[in-house]
Amino acid sequence: MPHILVVGAADTGRAPITAALLRRMLAADHPDWHVDSVGVVGHDGDPAEPEARNAMAVLGIDLDDHVARTISDTLAANADLLLAMDSGIVRVLQARNTTAPLLTLGALAGKQRDIPDPFRMQVGAWLTYSREIESLLRAGLPRLYELLAAAPASGPIVIPATAAEPAPEPPPVTAPIAALRSEAVQRVLRLFDVIADFPAAVDWNGACNQLTTALQTIAAASTTDLGKAYVAMLQALLGLSAGTPNQAQLALLRGAFARLLRPIGQPEIDTLSAELPLYATLQ
């Protein structure tokens, strides 16, 4: 089971984005491969940058649970491949005298390219770099397979917690229904905010697929109110969009989804019913 360690600066932006995209690419053919991310500076315990989470939400990946870690000798020793985000990080890692292959993402793809750190940039820049990272990963997959073809077969690799932080508690087997619905709605609202700010950078068809998936989760988690009926109407409302909605339509859609953060009763059903014909007039 090869172990790939993506190394960034703080492990709050480029590295977790790259690791998440690579995990998704490998999921079909190599679901047992381990892909993790770390940083070379101490930001242990920090979440992913808000802009990184928003950009990845557009691409259908949730980074809300990411927790940054600093690379250690143990983590480096357990890796079969160290994938650095830029050549500066390569120089830092070379000082550790690691035995695993070490190269940048650009080099993996056969290009002289370092992905810039979009820290403090707007989410549009994060989305642009995320798509470039995805393109480089796809170009580098053949070489990735070649590098890891001889990786030793072993049991699952255990990543120990650093001395500064305790090992995390295992996640619960199931999440409360109300929490599942709330989390799905919050992801949708964040996606709408990104679309409103950068409409030209978002593929509306892809966004619709994400919204439909979220609605399925919301419907399954709606057992104590009229949420299922409300979701069916929302799905019909989405079907009215032939192309990317304009700002007024996006605001209406966002408001309709936001109501799902509260219990849905007949008044909410009536409000959404009145908004269905209104939506078409906002063209």
153 pLDDT more than 90: no
pLDDT, residue 125, reads: 84
Indicate which CATH number applies to the domain containing 79.
3.40.50.2300
What pTM was computed for the model?
0.66
Is 198 inside a domain boundary?
Answer: yes
Summarize pLDDT for 170-200 with one digit per residue, the tens: 434 344 557 888 888 988 888 888 888 777 7
Q: To the nearest whole number, what is the mean pLDDT of the chain?
A: 83
For residues 131 and 241, membership in a common domain is answered with no
Q: 97 with 203, same domain?
A: no
Task: Out of 130, 148, 166, pick the residue that ends a domain.
Answer: 148
Q: Are residues 54 and 124 in the same domain?
A: yes
Q: pLDDT tens-digit profile of 217-226?
A: 898 888 888 8
**Are residues 141 and 47 located together in one domain of the fold?**
yes
Same domain for 135 and 226? Answer: no
Residue 75 structural domain: 3-148
* pLDDT exceeds 70 at position 166: no
pLDDT at 155 (0 to 100)? 34
Query: So what's the pLDDT on residue 168?
Result: 41
Same domain, 103 and 201: no
112 and 245 part of one domain: no
227-251 pLDDT, tens per residue?
Answer: 888 888 888 888 877 677 888 888 8
Q: How many domains does the chain have?
A: 2
Same domain, 185 and 252: yes
What would the DSSP string read from start to end of the chain?
--EEEEEESSSSSHHHHHHHHHHHHHTTT-TT-EEEEEESS--TTPPPPHHHHHHHHHTT---TT----B--HHHHHH-SEEEESSHHHHHHHHTTT-SS-EEEHHHHTTS-------TTS-HHHHHHHHHHHHHHHHHHHHHHHHHHTTPPP-SPPP-PPPTTSPPPPPPPSS--HHHHHHHHHHHHHHHHHHHHH-GGGS-HHHHHHHHHHHHHHHHHT--SSSHHHHHHHHHHHHTT-SSS--HHHHHHHHHHHHGGGS---HHHHHHHHHHHHHHHHT-
Write down the pLDDT at residue 239.
Answer: 80
Whether 155 is covered by a domain: the verdict is: no
pLDDT at 57 over 60: yes
pLDDT in tens, 125-146: 888 899 999 999 999 999 999 9
Residue 168: inside a domain, yes or no? no
